[in-house]
Structure 1
């Protein structure tokens, strides 16, 4: 289990290492800070020293933020559904070690001593920057991170039921997209699986059913009837759930269930 966790975490970290957009953003921010010299560095340092200072500081801070965000994204999956919320939790936690890391950089470049109080003050200052870092990272790279975390291969003969906890393995009823997850509903419960919807559909081969929407699949045996609501076509399932039908799938749905 630990080996699989480390493997998946490493794949997510590699997303950052191989992203040109990530490195381009990093370089642009370091150069911006070196040129503008904020927080008194313009007056106290020459350009070369400023560049080295901000490069070191940002490299250390970004490394800590990425490690915390990716680790939290992995560890909190069973408690928090939203990937953004998981990454934000990790990023905000990163503010504490980043505060003391900044103190270390200041000590190396300016000889300033770091105390517990100054480290906590720097950590408080880093909180909004960590939140901004998380927001920008999620907007730019969330899909790539989700793909890196998902299983690398899907066997055509595999069943999505094998991915569920034993207590949830019953008759497959329907699938729905939930953020970067697929929600699997069976006769014994429901569970979120970190799997692309297209891959999940390939694992339903043993159960007759139909994709009725870009975000929904339903088993034939689970369909009770069709209905219309303000011109929209809906599937009414045996447990009373109403599933929307996309126009592109409407003809197939009528042909199959009427």
Structure 2
């Protein structure tokens, strides 16, 4: 399914579970909650079960909240939006799947407790409130501190790579437009970046490349040659991918790859 908000939400969620620091933080929070036993769990569960319960809650709901919040925000909030609107939408998008997951987990750990419709609404309100506080803190407190932190030493490679997850940063292959996003392909995989193709090309400094279409750019080192199919010209990449060449860029493509 080629829907950029879904792709972005999946990629950001996957990035959380690949980050050891994030996993360590989630485990620490789950353990602390397990020892403290909030929301009546101290009296209802033994210490080992209580820690297990909160670890399951922490690891499952964090990923679901990340996915639901990102998906809903990218889907319905305009790119040029006030930050408060994005925070509210992300909190709502996170609260719904988190509430459903908590209901499922509670059903497993507390077999004698059945949530009524009103109880589920109260739980949804709690999940929304907690999500709202956490997201607001990240956006209004943590974010500005990160921005104002001393700049890191310059890294090798184009600036565009700094927008990608660490495990995808490698030699650029090609880029393609996908609605309001640019799908950046490297030797290690691909990721969606919210920006214009022209701006992405401007951040490929140091990499020899060529725009071959209003929606496509290729790195010269990734190209094997040109191909003609059904009267149309394509750039053939070493990976086997074919990208169309528009008339506007045909002469430049022939000069570079012909």
For residues 156-171 of structure 1, the aligned pairs below 5 Å read none
- C-alpha distance in 2, partners of 1:90/1:59? 18
Distance 1:36 1:79, change over 3 A: same
Residue aligning to 1:147: 163
Residue aligning to 1:124: 125
CA distances 1:74-94 after superposition (whole Å, capped 9, x unpaired): 324645446785355123232
Give how far 1:58 is off.
2.3
- Contact in 2 for aligned 1:42/1:50 (Cα 8 Å): yes
- Contact in 2 for aligned 1:69/1:86 (Cα 8 Å): no
- Contact in 2 for aligned 1:103/1:113 (Cα 8 Å): no
32-41 or 56-65, larger mean C-alpha shift? 56-65
Residue aligning to 1:49: 49
- Contact in 1 for aligned 2:37/2:50 (Cα 8 Å): yes
Residue aligning to 1:68: 68
1:199 aligns with 2:215: no
Q: Which runs of 5+ in 1 are unaligned?
A: 166-179, 183-191, 207-258
User: Could you tell me the TM-score, scaled by structure 1's length?
Assistant: 0.51
Give how far 1:125 is off.
1.3
Q: CA RMSD in A?
A: 4.4
Distance 1:101 1:132, change over 3 A: same
- C-alpha distance in 2, partners of 1:137/1:48? 31
- Contact in 2 for aligned 1:77/1:86 (Cα 8 Å): yes
- C-alpha distance in 2, partners of 1:65/1:164? 24
- Contact in 1 for aligned 2:87/2:132 (Cα 8 Å): no
CA distances 1:89-117 after superposition (whole Å, capped 9, x unpaired): 12323223323432332222122112211
User: Could you tell me the TM-score, scaled by structure 2's length?
Assistant: 0.51
Distance 1:56 1:104, change over 3 A: same
Give how far 1:16 is off.
1.1
Count of equivalent residues? 176
Residue aligning to 2:15: 15
- Contact in 1 for aligned 2:9/2:67 (Cα 8 Å): no
- C-alpha distance in 1, partners of 2:198/2:134? 24
- Say which one has the larger Rg: 1
86-95 or 24-33, larger mean C-alpha shift? 86-95
Q: Which runs of 5+ in 2 are unaligned?
A: 148-161, 181-192, 211-258
For residues 104-253 of structure 1, the aligned pairs below 5 Å read 104-111=104-111, 112-135=113-136, 138=139, 139=142, 147-148=163-164, 199=203
